[in-house]
Amino acid sequence: MLASPTSGRLAGLTAALLVGTLAMSPGAQAAEPPQNFALVGSGWGHGVGLSQWGAYGMAKEGMDATAIVSHYFANTEVAATQDDMDIRVGVLIQVPGAQVRSEVLEAGGGAVEVTVGQNVVVGGPADVFSFTPGEGFVSVQRSIGGVVTDLGSASSATVRWAGTRTPGTATGSATLLNVTGPKARFNTPGHRYRYGYFDMVPVATSSGPRLNVVNSLRVHDEYLYGISEVSNSWPAAALQAQVIAARSYALSKVKHGIRKPCACNLDDGDGPYSDQFFTGWGKASSAMGNMWVDAVNATHVSETTALAVLYAGVPISAFYTASTGGMTQASKDAWGGALPFAVSVDDHWSLIPQNSNASWTVNVPQARMAEVFGLPDVGSLSITERYISGAVKKFRATASDGTAKEISGTELLARLKLKSPYVNTVNGEAGVPVVVPVAAPGAPVTMTVSMNIGPTTTPKEGASLKFRGQVAPATKGLQVDRQMLVDGVWKTVATKLTKTNGSYSFKIKKSVPAGAVYNYRVVVLQNGEVVAQSAESVVTVLPRK
């Protein structure tokens, strides 16, 4: 039945009177919008891939580097891979100019060679070489004792120095190259490089000619010695896990080729690509830097190969984050692209007291929160949806006039510059609750077990498969059953015992037949009772051809 115009007006009048009556009732007055919003969260970074503080916690429990990276990168294998090629690292990208000079590291060092076209000049620590970009060329000047000499122009310029693998004519002992941009000074810390050589490459930009300053050096050791992502004081296994992840990431960038805007494979972490932090000589020469160098060397298998994380036999883009809220994020949730090795896994290890970002609080003023949501004010803010990792998927803000707006957790993270997407509560309210995989005080310790199948979950007929994983906390002598789903029932097909570090491994000599699809999992038993169970993985056997 349709309402008449009169009944509609009466309903509206009745509603208005009711609202007026409520407004005059002291106990029913609308609450004032809060002056601030306290956002309590956990973690630092995007939450995808290896958790650095998680690796620290796992190492403290006795797990080795292979077990750590295998846990964080699903469906992968840690194996020896060729890594003796050079990688091009953008140290300064699209700058107006640059300067270099050499510094003696060992007696007899200090020689530097600069090549501009056909002109090859050798200098020493007293020489300052300046590089200025032009339209398709770079001009070079040499300054010594106040006397400036033009060395010419060419499509690029190269700098080599003594004590490297390819010193050119700059013979002598170990030397450092001090490289600065237009606003830096030689006497400030950092920007010193021990290995490889530098190319000075001009590039055309909308702002005019600019210069790319690129360090080429070997991945195997020279590049990795300069990666500065975690503290040198951390346990050896955590350092080695970081090395393996960093090497894998670098090798994936080599495979992708040169980025034209920077004439490089990756940058040094200062942008614009925000790759790994590469600080050159600063890392190895810092306090306890020898521990980091030892960790790099410990992952070498031969003079030309070292351990890397592989998926289907290829080094992965091994993302890593400082810490999370208790579970890592899947790449598809964080960025929208699903990667088989970047799924959400347990990371309760990062919620340890040593991690200063295990819990953080950000207070956002009312005016700023209203601005973020585009509302006149924010009467209430709630978390309405989370990903399986606990990271926030959606926030909803409601104004005092009843208008509501939603934005994604990623958008709020960017606008408020939060440390991570793991916001646990807003003004004490969790909204959709966070489920953290960590035992409460006094409760029995919960075990977890990882299962990684390699080198691929799509083997060709007749190929072998390896199942590897680790129980946490690390416990020796636990029974691990490898199970296969048969007619809807899980059946144990092999049994092993865990080693001292909690690891286990199985091997299938031949995958047969072609076209077969198998569902696998592992179950851990202690005194006959199940204490942990892995996620299920699917293996599909492909034809040989």
Confidence grade of residue 30 (pLDDT, cut at 50, 70, 90)? low
Whether 421 shows a pLDDT value over 80: the answer reads yes
Angle formed by the axes of helices 409-416 and 366-373, nearest 10°: 130
3-state secondary structure of 117: coil
One-letter amino acid identity for 507?
K
User: In the structure encoding, which two tokens stand for residue 47, read together?
Assistant: 């939450």
Q: Do the Cβ atoms of 264 and 276 come closer than 8 Å?
A: no
Give how far the C-alpha of residue 430 lies from the chain's centroid of Cα atoms, to the nearest Å.
Answer: 27
pLDDT, one tens digit per residue, over 212-270 is 999 999 999 999 999 999 999 999 999 999 999 999 999 999 999 999 999 999 999 98
410 vs 19, which has greater pLDDT?
Answer: 410
Which 3 state secondary structure label does DSSP give 492?
A: strand
Q: How many whole angstroms separate alpha carbon 482 and alpha carbon 271?
A: 45
Residue that is written with structure tokens 């005080």 in the block: 441
What are the φ and ψ backbone dihedral angles of 24, each rounded to 5 degrees? -85, -10
Please give the DSSP secondary-structure letter assigned to residue 62: T
Tokens of 4: 């008449």
Of 533 and 197, which is predicted with more confidence?
197
Token output for 187? 């006497």
Q: Is-contact 324 352, C-beta < 8 A? A: no
More confident residue, 14 or 391: 391
Record the tokens describing residue 361, joined without a space: 């609080």
pLDDT in tens, 449-488: 888 888 888 899 999 999 988 888 778 888 899 998 888 8
Q: Could you list the beta-strand ranges (E) of 305-421.
A: 305-311, 314-315, 320-321, 360-365, 380-386, 392-398, 404-408
- In single-letter form, the type of residue at position 95 comes to V
Whether 445 shows a pLDDT value over 80: the answer reads: no
Class of the CATH domain delimited by 448-540:
mainly beta
Question: What size, in residues, is the chain?
Answer: 545
In tens, the pLDDT along 329-338 reads 999 999 998 9
What share of the chain in percent tops pLDDT 90?
73
What percentage of the chain carries pLDDT values higher than 70?
92
Rounded to whole angstroms, how far apart are CA atoms 488 and 491? 9
Specify the pLDDT at position 142. 98
CA distance 360 to 367: 22
Task: Report the chain's mean pLDDT, rounded to a whole number.
Answer: 90
pTM value is: 0.78
How far is the first Cα of the chain from the last one, in angstroms, to the nearest whole number? 70
Q: Does residue 446 have a pLDDT over 80?
A: no
Q: Calculate helix-pair angle for 289-298, 236-256, nearest 10 degrees.
A: 60
Cβ-count burial of 271 within 10 angstroms (0-12 exposed, 13-18 middle, 19+ buried)? Answer: exposed
Quote the distance between the C-alpha of residue 230 and its chain's center. 12
Average pLDDT over residues 11-39: 55
**30 vs 128: which has the higher pLDDT:** 128
| R_g of the chain computed on alpha carbons | 29
The neighbouring-strand residues paired with 454 are: 466
pLDDT at 451 (0 to 100) = 87
Q: List the domain boundaries for the chain.
A: 39-44+357-426, 50-84+225-350, 88-219, 448-540
> Residue 342's closest CA among 365, 294, 386, 309?
309
Q: Is the peptide bond before 455 cis (omega within 30 degrees of 0)?
A: yes
Helix/strand/coil for 260: coil
Residue 351 tokens read as 């919620």
Could you give the angle at the alpha carbon of 502 between the alpha carbons of 497 and 508, nearest 5°? 50
pLDDT above 80: residue 126: yes
For residues 191-195, average pLDDT: 98
